[in-house]
């Protein structure tokens, strides 16, 4: 750790915005092209002015750094960071002998749900907190510089259809999303400057399941019985029709039956015609 109170962002500082898991390149402006090994270059990290950490010393990544596995040097001694996290936000200084220091401010925009996606199929709302993590001594976020927009690009202010901005601070905003039927909606968090130019944005889609939510075991039993009842109705109709048909059938005339041993034989004996007039 290096105590460097003078590493304060200047007007010529490069400002970068990223999302988690991005890869980024922090330029070392003015690096000597003759020093291809970057043996005179140090990279120093500040989260605030109170303390600093050496990430690169004389062209070599400091192994003791907690993020050493994600750091490397690129062209012109630039600092490469793989898989950016919110903890990477801060002020970086490329320090080279006999050359003025150059600084890079790295800010990270993160959306954090109140519940993991696996739990959003339960009852209740889901809160999405959008936060810009930045150099702590930099008053970068003005009022409403963090905002939410819907799929059409309309800015969400206060309460809207199925969502509500429930908390608003300088560098964070909380959007409460209520469960609704239909397709899952996508919400976008943006960091804008004083002219409403978007500097960084990120998207999030809460994945609600549209099944039966908040039902008790008795509700499921009653649903099963209702479904079973729907299947019983056609069967009952068939049974009644069969009974009705059997009731309309004319039983055979006993006079037309003769017993031939153990076998009963029905004879088709036609009734005498009325025209023959049998006397």
Classify 177 as helix, strand or coil. strand
pTM for this entry: 0.68
pLDDT score at 167: 85
- CATH of 14-107 among 2.60.40.10, 3.30.70.420, 3.90.1300.10, 3.30.2090.10: 2.60.40.10
Q: Does domain 114-204 have CATH number 1.10.390.10?
A: no
Check pLDDT > 80 for residue 84. yes
- How far apart, in whole angstroms, are the C-alpha atoms of residue 171 and residue 139? 9
Question: Which long-range CB contacts under 8 A does 74-77 form with residues at least 24 apart?
Answer: 74/25, 76/27, 76/28, 76/31, 76/33, 77/28, 77/31, 77/35, 77/38, 77/41
Kindly report the length of the chain: 279
| 81 burial type by CB count under 10 A (0-12 exposed, 13-18 middle, 19+ buried) | buried
Cβ(56)–Cβ(2) under 8 Å? no
Residue in the structure block whose two tokens are 């402006």: 29
- From residue 59, alpha-carbon distances to 31, 48, 242 in Å are 12, 24, 94
Give the model confidence (pLDDT) of 104-123 as tens digits: 999 999 999 986 554 444 45
């Amino acid at each position: 750790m290096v105590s460097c109170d003078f590493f304060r962002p200047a007007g010529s500082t490069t400002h970068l915005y990223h999302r988690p898991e991005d890869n980024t390149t922090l330029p070392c402006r003015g690096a000597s092209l003759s020093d291809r090994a970057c043996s005179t270059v140090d990279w120093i990290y500040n989260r605030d002015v109170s303390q600093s950490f050496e990430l690169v010393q004389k062209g070599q990544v400091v192994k003791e750094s907690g993020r050493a596995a994600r750091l490397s040097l690129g062209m012109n001694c630039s600092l490469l960071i793989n898989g950016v996290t919110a903890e990477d936000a801060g002020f970086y200084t490329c320090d080279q002998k006999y050359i003025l220091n150059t600084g890079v401010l790295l800010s990270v925009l993160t959306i954090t749900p109140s519940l993991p996606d696996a739990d959003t199929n339960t009852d209740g709302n889901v809160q999405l907190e959008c936060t810009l993590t930045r150099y702590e001594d930099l008053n970068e976020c003005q009022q409403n510089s963090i905002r939410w927009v819907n799929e059409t690009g309309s800015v969400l202010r206060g309460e809207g259809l199925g969502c509500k901005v429930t908390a608003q601070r300088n560098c964070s905003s909380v959007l409460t999303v209520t469960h609704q039927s239909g397709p899952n909606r996508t919400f976008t968090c943006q960091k804008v400057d004083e002219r409403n130019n978007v500097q960084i944005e990120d998207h999030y889609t809460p994945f609600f399941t549209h099944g039966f939510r908040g039902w008790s075991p008795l509700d499921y039993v009653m649903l099963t019985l209702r479904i079973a009842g729907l299947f019983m109705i056609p069967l009952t109709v068939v049974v009644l029709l069969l009974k009705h048909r059997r009731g309309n059938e004319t039983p055979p005339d006993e006079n037309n039956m003769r017993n031939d041993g153990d076998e009963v034989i029905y004879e088709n004996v036609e009734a005498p015609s009325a025209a023959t007039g049998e006397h």
